[in-house]
Amino acid sequence: MSFCGYCLFQALILLVVANGAPVIVGKVLGDRWARPIDNGLNLSDGHRLFGDSKTWRGLFSSVFFTTAMAQLFGIHPLIGVWFGMLSMTGDILASFVKRRVGKVESSRARGLDTVPESLLPLCLLTEPLALNFMDITLIVAGFFLMEEFVSPVLYRLHIRNRPY
């Protein structure tokens, strides 16, 4: 196993872009084009499938900006598309689980809020991103720590609606 610091940096930035783009675009556009992916569907448990914060606009903005960033890094655009899609899939799966255990929309669930959205694209795109198991572990841990320490700062700057 070899260490590629630049590969770690690229993957971490792609994660930040994939998960940050929907937040920034949401701040800029407000409620415009914020159609929920689940279309308001409630399941038999009485909770929404995903919730209002998981929107098509967020999905598309994540894929678009992650693809653009991948291209800036010299990564094939299709890898950027897959990275954004997989990261958002992990995020949506986390929301699905949170709804099933009765957590309200946008509530905090340490680990569940960062691990699926980082682990899914990193594990499935290991080869094109030139990552190994240790790289993935470091990136997931780094992304978790960034979320823990940077989110409160973004909240104070009025970029995020919640300090987590």
Let me know if residue 38 belongs to a domain.
yes
Task: Record the pTM.
Answer: 0.89
Q: Which of 110, 109, 54 is closest to 87 using CA atoms?
A: 54
Exposure string of 99-134, with b = 16+ CB inside 10 Å and e = fewer, is beeebeeeeeeeebbbbbbbbbbbeebeeebebeee
Q: List the one residue out of 152, 131, 160 whose CA is nearest residue 6.
A: 131
Q: What is the pLDDT of residues 67-99, one digit of tens each?
A: 999 999 999 999 999 999 999 999 999 999 998
Owning domain of residue 141: 9-156
Report percent pLDDT > 90 for the chain.
71
pLDDT digits over 91-128, tens only? 999 999 998 887 776 667 777 888 999 999 999 999 99
What is the spatial distance between Cα 84 and Cα 102, in angstroms, rounded to a whole number?
A: 27
Q: Contact, 149 vs 158, CB < 8 A?
A: no
Number of domains present in the structure of the chain: 1
- For residue 78, tell me if it sits in a domain: yes
Residue 42 has pLDDT above 60, yes or no: yes
Is 135 part of a structural domain of the chain? yes
